[in-house]
Amino acid sequence: MRSILVLNAKGGCGKTTLATNLAAYYAHRKKAVTLVDFDPQQSSMDWLEARPESRPYIHGVSAADGPARIPRDSDVVVMDAPAASHSHALTTLVRRAETLIMPVLPSPIDIRAAHRFTEELMHIGKVMRKQVRLAAIINRARENSPSRYLLEEYLHTVKLPDGRRLPMVAVLRSSQNYIRAAERGVGLSEMGPVSVAHDLELWRPLLRWLNSKRSVPAS
């Protein structure tokens, strides 16, 4: 069972957008997908409620107030973490995953928040023991924005517990296509290919990483 957790303690960085699009991507590839929403706002479950029956089925689990019961026949579990996850709550979330994806927005406030969050994340036992793989994404970037380059420079300085550099696997742009997809309960991979071609191209490095051995801890 593949388990992917989208997390960042900073709110508004696009965790739900990434989680729902990943769920749609794997469902489109005929995987049995479970989407788990740990966020009290339940935005991932709202997206799933809007999903047309004609689209590949995605099983939803609302886990903000109770245990997350994952169907045993799930091929892929995508988890949408809540904002302000710290200490024991953060450790508990990380224990559920083999792959962590951290979206960060290119702004000074988000960079400072990411610095504090990564410091905490690197001291979690499962991360220190290399039992989970972690990568960052620059999200809602504007081309040639100075803030984007500042964020890239910062992420290049972040080291994993074993001394390797934190992988920065994609730069995604701010696009109306994400809003249209959210309204319809679909993912970019399920929309008209011409209208989303550029956004899908930006997703390729992330998907390539997720589909490689680099994103899965050694057994």
Task: Give the pLDDT band (50/70/90) at residue 68.
Answer: confident
Whole-angstrom distance, CA of residue 150 vs CA of residue 112: 11
Least confident window among 103-107, 143-147, 203-207: 143-147
pTM: 0.96
**Average pLDDT, rounded, for the chain:** 96
DSSP per-residue string spanning 135-162: EEEEEEE-TT-HHHHHHHHHHTT-B-TT
Whole-angstrom distance, CA of residue 115 vs CA of residue 49: 35
Stretch 21-41: mean pLDDT, rounded? 97
**Per-residue pLDDT tens digits for 87-115:** 999 999 999 999 999 999 999 999 999 99
> What structural domains does the chain harbor?
2-215 (3.40.50.300)
DSSP per-residue string spanning 34-54: EEEE-STT-HHHHHHHT--TT
